Amino acid sequence: MTEVRHTPVAPTRTQRLASGAGIDAHRHDDHQIVYAGRGVLSVTTSAGSWVAPATRAIWIPAGTVHAHRAHGDLELHLVGLPARENPLRLDTPTVLAVSPLLRELIIAFTRTEDDDSPERRRLCAVLLDQLQTSVQQPLHLPTPRSPLLRTVCDLLQSDPSDNRTLAELGREVGASDRTLSRLYSTDLGMTFPQWRTQLRLHHALILLAEKMPVTKVAHQCGWSSTSAFIDVFRRAFGHTPGTHSR
């Protein structure tokens, strides 16, 4: 991200983006909630990327430089909140679970006139209350700082179906599996299997948004079987990929 647009007030609105379209790097002085009512949204910062389907929203703290990308036809709901309003006390981007009630509140808030009416203030107050009960979701794919680890991660990002072990990948980049395992822990805060599962889930969400059949998604993302993919996906998102893709 080289050129960064600064928009002091984070907009509250509904916006539609075609698959593959995006919003370039920018930042706001306000906090922002971004939610995909349809399609899948990815948000990228210097620290990594977050992907959210319609059951998740992404909290972006004030001042965070970020870019959006649409996967599938995206209905994007943007909620701007003053920097003083931080019900979750979060200072890093975070994926949040979206209950049916919170979904309807976000949609209503972004589709009504952005004014200071008593009705809108009450709607915002309920929305903030619901945010406080939202469960944080571990759907962050961090970007490594280590050049060595970045090389390994780039190999896997270019082909999530690559099933090589850490030792086999280490031989390609000239490092031991012990060294790489330590870097995953110290640089990314997770194990190699955890990071690879996150990568595959991120990639699966994007492919499902593009209407790829579940069996093909499982194969392209490296799961040993469709049933194994369905099991991991259900545990991560609370529903099956077949339900998600409809």
Extents of the domains making up the chain:
5-140, 144-244
- In the CATH scheme, what is the code of domain 144-244? 1.10.10.60
**CA-closest candidate to residue 53, choices 91, 95, 111:** 95
In 146-184, which positions are buried (b, 16+ CB within 10 angstroms) versus exposed (e)?
Answer: bebbbebbeebeeebeeeeebeebbeebebeeebbeebb
Q: Which structure tokens are listed for 203?
A: 């990639």
Note the pLDDT tens digit of each residue in 123-175.
Answer: 989 998 898 888 777 678 898 999 999 999 999 999 999 999 999 999 999 99
pTM of the model: 0.80
In whole angstroms, give the CA distance from residue 41 to residue 36.
6
**CA-closest candidate to residue 200, choices 244, 235, 159:** 159
Note the pLDDT tens digit of each residue in 67-85.
Answer: 999 988 889 999 998 888 8
Which parts of 50-143 fold into alpha helices (H)? 100-111, 118-132
Note the pLDDT tens digit of each residue in 115-124.
Answer: 778 888 899 8
Specify the CATH number for 5-140; select among 3.40.50.720, 3.50.50.60, 2.60.120.810, 3.90.1150.10.
2.60.120.810
**CA-closest candidate to residue 40, choices 61, 58, 64, 28:** 58
Predicted local distance difference test score (pLDDT) of residue 1? 42
Q: Which structure tokens are listed for 117?
A: 């009416």
